Amino acid sequence: MTRRLQYKIQKQHNGKSIGMFLKEKEYSRAVVIELKKTQAGIKRNGTWAGVNEIIKTGDILEICLAEQAYSENIVPKKGRLNILYEDEDILVVNKPYDTPIHPSVNNYDNTLANAISYYYHQQNRPYIFRCINRLDRDTTGVTIIAKNLLSGSILSRRMKEHHLSRIYVAFVEGITEEEGTIDLPIGRMEDSIIKRKVDKKEGKSAVTHYRRLEVFQIEGQAVSVVALQLETGRTHQIRVHMSAIDHPLLGDFLYNENNHMLTRQGLHAAYCAFYHPITGEYMKIAAPLSQDMERLIQQGLNRSQEGYDLENKLLALKW
């Protein structure tokens, strides 16, 4: 894909080098190196320019991010793709369950990466897969994909610095407190490469905040729907923390193997807020519940109408 950007130099940048200006615009060193390799990757007033050139008020700086490569190990394969938002820099989808993010030994062509590669292959556009927030195979919801090297580097850094605000929704056993904070370190289970546990001696710090949204009964068993925000991003953090306070997720075969109300763990990445990596616009993107969660909550709340108003429920929260 090719992304072209144009900047009119303002007074506050007069006398700075192009390299300094790009750094202020959050261009990473890796992005600048690629621009230097690209013919006419950087142009000042229509002429190919180097990063050490000095810019003046009123100059027009043109940037060309040209990528003709593609992710060689990702086979284009049509799949479920629910697009929530798309522009020149980012693609945001509502990831379905039973869908891994990346191909692996046992998941060669059934992943989100395959479906997105197919989507752009149909448009004859070369594409490198850059997923910003990775979800477990059976976790549904908001997943952000960068469409170029610049948006990818900016969002990846913000993700590491916890500058992407995310809210998850979980269906858990029992009636939780109305709200709470779980501050318990998490470490790897000794006899498993996948499973995690609360480990107060050797675990890494993990903090989860939660608010209860709903309570209902299914076949005599109480279920709470909770919204969660994470201060940290440990593997299986929500699943481990909710199990630790005796409210394990429905359908979680790892941490609650006897519950079969859902066929997968009841966890959904419901909402994400962040500043657009290029325009700076503040983005708020919500993903509706998947069909299995929607059916369960309608059954539990004894409602016949379709569409649980999840987005407004989340926006009403005061974290």
Longest Cα separation, the chain: 73
**Rounded alpha-carbon distances, angstroms, from residue 185 to 181, 191, 221, 262:** 13, 18, 30, 28
Q: The whole model's pTM is what? A: 0.92
Average pLDDT over the chain, rounded to an integer: 94
Q: 304: pLDDT confidence band, cut at 50, 70 and 90?
A: low
227-247 residue pLDDT tens: 999 999 899 999 999 999 999
Express as a percent the part of the chain with pLDDT over 90. 85
Q: Which residues are catalytic?
A: 136
Spell out the domains of the chain, with CATH numbers in brackets. 2-66 (3.10.290.10), 83-160 (3.30.2350.10), 165-315 (3.30.2350.10)
Residue 285: half-sphere exposure toward Cβ, Cα within 13 Å: 22
Tens digits of residue pLDDT in 68-80: 888 888 999 999 9
Confidence class for position 82, pLDDT limits 50, 70, 90: very high
Highest mean pLDDT among 257-261, 273-277, 314-318: 273-277
- d(CA 10, CA 129) in angstroms, rounded, equals 34
Give the chain's end-to-end CA distance (angstroms, integer): 39
